[in-house]
Homo-oligomer: A and B are copies of this chain.
Amino acid sequence: MFTASEHPLSPLLKKLGSLTRLSDRDEQAILHLPASPRVFAAGQDLVGEGDRPTRCWLIVEGWVQRYKVLDEGKRQISAFHVAGDMPDLQGLHLSVMDHNLGALTRVTALSVPHEALRELLLRIPELNAPFWRDTLVDAAIFREWVANVGRRPAYQRLAHLFCELYLKQVAVGLARDGRCPMPVTQVDLADATGLTSVHVNRTLRELRRDGLIELRGKRLEIPDWPRLVAAASFNPAYLHLASRPTA
């Protein structure tokens, strides 16, 4: 019998249990999933477009980007994932990958066989809800990104992205006090916001000039959260976080 806090799968529990409390039996069942660790170097893909994966990755450490490559080398990032996320959980029910998952930093991840997950979900049907829900939150974030990229000007667009990434990290205990890791390049920010890296550079300067962000050494600092939120017209509802922060 594992104690939840020290187990490598424990970040997953924290996330899944954030809305509906998991029973002890459920927690134990999840902790007993077979999982083998692997390290990816920055720049490596965990899964690529066209693959037919037979397992899911649970991120234990590092950042993962979800991206598509289009015509003439254009690239669009559609999500950033951090520790506790299972970015390819969808592979459980969609047989072919329609995009790539790449390591932005060095990444440690646990691989969980689809087999084992499927068996677990049939054996304990109540567990479908929290896993399914996790993919629904990802979808909600995609919707917000469509709006962000489609309708917000560059300044607001970047501010909005920073709000999201900060809150996502707060939710899993990776950030607090207006500071968090932000291991992305300006090219990555451009590919996430549908802008050019040159324009990102200039817009970042304006955000700094206005005292909304500090960004150096792969860390983000937000001196005045309410002002950043206002500048982005950020409404966190789409993240579907527990209204009350998790212990």
Partner-B contacts on A (CB < 8 A) = 49-50, 66, 68, 70-71, 74-76, 78, 90, 93-94, 96, 98-99, 121-122, 125-126, 128-129, 132-133, 135-140, 142-147, 149-152, 156, 193-194, 233, 237-238, 240
Contacts and interface: CB of A to CB of B under 8 A. Distances in A.
Contacts of A146: 76, 78, 142, 145-146, 149
Contacts of A50: 237
Given A122-B126, A139-B139, A194 B70 contact: no
Q: Report the copy number of this chain in the oligomer.
A: 2
**Lowest 6 CB-CB distances: which A-B pairs, in order?**
A150-B194, A142-B142, A139-B139, A125-B125, A76-B147, A93-B133
10 contacts: A50-B237, A75-B151, A78-B143, A90-B140, A93-B132, A94-B240, A96-B240, A135-B136, A146-B146, A150-B193
A50 to B, nearest CB: 8
Given A68-B147, A122-B125, 12 more contacts: A49-B237, A71-B156, A78-B143, A93-B136, A98-B140, A98-B238, A132-B135, A138-B139, A139-B142, A142-B142, A142-B145, A150-B193
Interface of A is mostly: helix
A158 to B, nearest CB: 13
Contacts of A68: 143-144, 147
A140 to B, nearest CB: 6
A74 B139 contact: no
A237 B51 CA distance: 12
Given A122-B126, A150-B149, A194-B149, A99 B135 contact: no
A156 to B, nearest CB: 8
Contacts of A90: 136, 139-140
A237 B132 contact: no
